[in-house]
Amino acid sequence: MPNILEGVSTVRGVRRGFTEAPFPESARDGPAATGYVLTMGAMETAAAFASYRLQDSRSRMLRMLSHGGMAEGSIDHTIGLISNLNLGSRPSQR
């Protein structure tokens, strides 16, 4: 969920004039919300499935890896969401 919220806030920021660097030349007008949701949704689903499977492992290390991966992803995307929400209404002109 933090990934989706960060993606929506990133798209909103880019539409207001902020940039996501480095951004490919082909996406100068900003990321398409649908493309972002489909791509990141597939990646998050794969990561969640892998973590779910690792939780059933007999190896304590693999179970810890599973929990660490899930926590790290949630923390990173939450930080990104907070950063996006702290952006002004438009980029400052220097």
Check residue 94 and give its pLDDT: 57
Percent of the residues in the chain that have a pLDDT greater than 70, as a whole number: 81
The DSSP line for 9-62 is HHHHHHHTT---SS--GGGTT---HHHHHHHHHHHHHHHHHHHHHHHT-S-HHH
The pTM of this model reads 0.58
- pLDDT (average), residues 7-15: 82
pLDDT of residue 22: 57
